[in-house]
Structure 1
Amino acid sequence: MHARIRRKFLGLLAAILMVPSWGWAQEGNDVLKMSTTTSTENSGLLAYLLPQFESETGIKVQVIAVGTGKALELAKNGDVDVTLVHARESEDKFVQEGYGVNRRDVMYNDFILVGPKGDPAGVRKAGKDVLKGLQRIVETKSKFISRGDNSGTDLMEQGYWKQLGAKPSGSAYVSAGLGMGEVLNMAAQMQAYTLTDRATYLAYRAKTGLAIVLEGDPKMFNPYGIIAVNPAKHKHAKYRAAMRLIDWMTSPAGQQKIKSFTIDGQQVFYPNAEPGK
């Protein structure tokens, strides 16, 4: 009798001890899935940022780097817990439809036009006007490589062609359906032009030999936002862990870490989180 009571007591004690252990695992040694753009990974930014967050919180971040469209789709389907992207109109729609909550500004960089060093289309003659630069590419029938993957970069590029009212045709326009790093490699191989974020370009510059032919147009500003997947839509979403990442990336410490990331000594992402938001 006493042995049976003792066994029940030990079983109950073990069950009680498991509760705080489970809760700690959810808050600490957990895996948080984040969809993001290829630019944040190809540039090396996430490899620079995340180890510090993981060390401080015990939360491991699993990164899925795709175009912004695909990143938001993964979040919409509940396949990830948080998303870091750069297409404000799409981000706002994602939140308005109830798939994401607590969107916050994180940082910005800029887009640039790059191409062969000799600049056969004479894009540099357009100064800082991206539409005039693209017009020269169209008029000279120069080859242009497009992401073609519904990424933030692709959406920006398509917006430029729409504003211009023209785009390269036939074999002069290649829709690659690839990430930014791969498109830069293609542009180098084909001696073509492409639109890229500055960070990825700098990370691949030595490998591709491509040159910046146009930069500085305000229309090429490129802001990033981070959004938690709405747990009301997907009960399995790790909302608390997602918010810890969001809070960290927008905190003074996280913002300073973003600011200190450089490529060849050059700052490429500029923190712009608003305090208290």
Structure 2
Amino acid sequence: MKLATLLRRAALPALLSATAWLAPMAHAETITMASTTSTEQSGLFSHLLPAFKKATGTDIKVVAQGTGQALDMARRGDADVLFVHDQAAEEKFVAEGYSKKRYPVMYNDFVLIGPADDPAGVKGDDIVAALSKLAQQNASFISRGDKSGTHAAELRFWKSAGVDDMGKGYKACGCGMGPALNMASSTGAYVLSDRGTWLSFKNPGNLKILVEGDKRLFNQYGVMVVNPEKFPHVKAKEAQQFVDWVTSPAGQDTIASYKVNGQQLFFPNADK
């Protein structure tokens, strides 16, 4: 028998073994998640999604954008599952029939960030009073301006403050939380942020938390499966699998275990 034939026969078992090992990976399901930038830019998904894949074998492709944009994406049928943080908008999404149920999953809070010397004198625990001062003094303020959950919360706070004119220092960047924080850091401006993204932010410069602790700053996150009755191509089974896992003790413990510099960024509350 020729040497080449012997070598081919010797290699065949190893080749078949490798092929058998790769086959499950080749058929691994991938679902698309539309989510807010805070869950990705805070590093949570880098911690959470590998644990989900290990438990289920399912991959998740994340499209991170403002909550409003994420909801619009799902309304077009371009996502299988949503992970966002604007409860009023989420409940409207369900009422419109784009999802059958909204599930609470975790929370953190918003904080007002600004220059350490606080030239506008807003430091404290009252977000409405702080924004009133910023508007009156034409203080430099960076708004997400992107229909995100953070932007929606900011607009609620301005409304509660009775402010229609945010002042000459107000600038909307139409950008994610990370870029907004970078702009504030480079210009010495005030900015509203979710605490998770702030704690994981690498370029704080002279910025620090100035307003926190106001109960109005509570920031709830929810998950929803896009309704397959509206979009038959939606991978509803796998999407529901993610929802079930992330609201289960295993998923909730994984969220709670994510910390940056020893600080927990998100707090599970699916049982609420």
Instruction: Bin the TM-score by the shorter chain.
Output: 0.7 to 0.9
How far 1:162 moved relative to its partner? 1.1
Q: Does 1:245 align with 2:238?
A: no
Shift of 1:221: 0.2
Amino acid at match of 2:221: Y
Counterpart contact for 2:111–2:211, Cα < 8 Å:
yes
2:31 corresponds to which residue? 32
SS in 1 for 2:138: coil
Give the residue type in structure 2 aligned to 1:69.
G
Amino acid in structure 1 at the alignment position of 2:137 = T
Query: How far does residue 135 in structure 1 lie from its aligned partner after superposition?
Result: 1.4
Tell me by how many angstroms 1:169 deviates.
4.4
Instruction: List aligned pairs for 1:128-167, cutoff 5 A.
Output: 128-166=125-163
- 1:240-275 Cα offsets, whole Å, 9 max, x none, are 000110011000010011011111100110000028
Q: Distance in 1 between matches of 2:255 and 2:70?
A: 21
- Superposed counterparts of 1:105-116, under 5 Å: 105-116=104-115
8 Å CA contact 2:100, 2:225 repeated in 1: yes
Q: 1:37 to 1:152 in 2, by over 3 A?
A: same
Shift in CA distance, 262/197, structure 1 to aligned 2, threshold 3 Å? same
1:150 & 1:93 partners in 2: Cα distance?
A: 15
CA-to-partner distance for each residue in 1:34-84, whole Å, 9 max, x for gaps? Answer: 000000000000000000111221111000000000001111111010000
Shift of 1:205: 5.0
Measure, in 2, the Cα distance between the counterparts of 1:167 and 1:263. 37
CA distance in 1, matches of 2:229, 2:205: 45
- How far does residue 171 in structure 1 lie from its aligned partner after superposition? 3.7
Cα deviations by residue, 1:181-211 (Å, 9 ceiling, x for unpaired): 0000000111100100000011115444410
Looking at secondary structure, tell me which structure has more helix per residue: 1
> Which amino acid in structure 1 is aligned with residue 37 of structure 2?
T
Matched to 2:194, the amino acid is D
CA-CA distance at 1:130 after TM superposition: 0.6
Amino acid at match of 2:85: H
Match of 1:50 in 2: 49
Letter in 1 for 2:220: P
Question: In structure 2, what residue type is equivalent to 1:141?
Answer: N
User: Structure 1 residues 254 and 177 mapped into 2: Cα distance closer, same or farther (>3 Å)?
Assistant: same
Q: Within 5 Å, which residues of 2 pair with 1:37-186?
A: 37-124=36-123, 127-166=124-163, 169=166, 171-186=168-183
CA distance in 1, matches of 2:252, 2:205: 30
SS at match of 1:141: coil
How far off its partner does 1:102 sit?
A: 2.7
Q: Which amino acid is the alignment partner of residue 199 of structure 1?
A: G
CA distance in 1, matches of 2:80, 2:108: 24
- Which 5+ residue runs of structure 2 have no aligned equivalent? 1-23
Instruction: Give the structure-1-normalised TM-score.
Output: 0.86
What RMSD, in angstroms, separates the aligned Cα atoms of the two structures?
A: 1.7
Letter paired with 2:70: A
Query: SS state of the match for residue 35, structure 1?
Result: strand
- Contact 1:181/1:204 (8 A) holds in 2: yes
Aligned position for 2:196 = 199
Q: Which amino acid aligns with 1:29?
A: A
Q: CA deviation at 1:104?
A: 0.6
Q: Which amino acid counterpart does residue 121 of structure 1 have in structure 2? A: A
**Residue 221 (structure 1) aligns with:** 218
For residues 248 and 32 of structure 2, the distance between their equivalents in structure 1, rounded to whole angstroms, comes to 20
* Aligned with residue 190 of structure 1, among 183, 187, 190: 187
Distance 2:216 2:240 in 1: 31
CA distance in 2, matches of 1:63, 1:53: 13
Q: Deviations along 1:85-133, whole A, 9 cap, x unmatched?
A: 0001100000011001231110000000001111111111xx2111111
Matched letter for residue 99 of structure 2: G
Query: CA 1:167/1:215 → structure 2, altered by over 3 Å: closer, same or farther?
Result: farther
CA contact (8 A) 2:108 2:195 kept: yes
Long gaps (5+) in structure 1: 1-23
SS in 2 for 1:112: strand
- Cα-to-partner distance string for 1:122-170 (whole Å, 9 max, x where unaligned): 111xx21111111121222210000000000001101111111215545
Size of the aligned set, in residue pairs, is: 249
SS across alignment from 1:211 = strand
Structure 2 CA distance, aligned partners of 1:154 and 1:135? Answer: 17
TM-score normalised over the length of structure 2: 0.88
